[in-house]
Amino acid sequence: MRLVTTPRVAFLRGIADTVLARFGRGRMIVAIDGPLRSGKSAFADDLAAVLDERGHAVFRARMEDFHRSRADQAQFGPDTAERYYRYGYDESALRRSLVEPFRLGGSAAFVTKVFDPARDVWVEPKWLTGPPDAILVVDGRFVLRERLEGLWDSRIAVAGDPVDPADVIAYEASDPREIADVVVDLSLPARPKRVVRQP
């Protein structure tokens, strides 16, 4: 279905062009990182809608839905920003339940959510399948961290300096704006723009 053209949608269509220029056939994963409350999830939702507009099978996932439980996090020590950065997410579940089966294509089933962080409970997995050619859009804090870098085909970072202590630690370890293929400024959500990085 054709989306109503607004400045935001027009911008997202340009981002989609950049993403699809790297996309041939098969499965592709787009990762979007940014600080807490930077607008990355809404941006990811809208990018998925634009990619769907182009006729691609598109799936959405959020790092928030791959949290560790509070009890599991407590095994790694006191509740600190450092602990949250290092152990807040269940990256094994992300790989095992989503990324690896999605990459297999065909009839391999995958899940886009394993945990409800608000209720601190595991959720009944909903197994999904898709066509051989499909795009997965994943957003979340720390998604462009070094130990996950081999999982993504296209990397997008939201501009803006981190304020939350866990984000500060993450950006000191590896600033997603420096490794992303595209950096977007969402300070005016209705009129986003690309950040041109100096060589």
**Helix, strand, coil content of the chain in percent (nearest 5):** 40, 20, 40
- Residue 106, both tokens: 């065909």
- Sorted by where each begins, the domain ranges of the chain are 22-191
pLDDT at 49 (0 to 100): 97
Q: How confident is the model at residue 107 (pLDDT cuts 50, 70, 90)?
A: confident
Count CB atoms within 10 A of the CB of residue 172.
10
Q: Which residues contact 24 (CB under 8 A, 6 or more apart)?
A: none
CATH 3.40.50.300 fits 22-191, yes or no: yes
Query: Quick check: 146 and 173 in contact, CB under 8 A?
Result: yes
- Residue 47, both tokens: 């990018």
Read off the pLDDT of each residue in 156-174 and give the average, rounded to a whole number: 96
CA distances from 8 to 3, 26, 57, 70, 87 (A): 11, 28, 22, 37, 35
3-state secondary structure of 191: coil
pLDDT at 181 (0 to 100): 94
Please say if the pLDDT value at position 24 is more than 80.
no
Among residues of the chain, what percentage have pLDDT more than 90? 90
Give the CA diameter of the chain: 50
pLDDT at 1 (0 to 100): 72
Left, alpha or beta for 154 (phi > 0: left; psi -120 to 50: alpha)?
A: beta
Quote the CA–CA distance of 125 and 116 in Å, as a whole number. Answer: 11
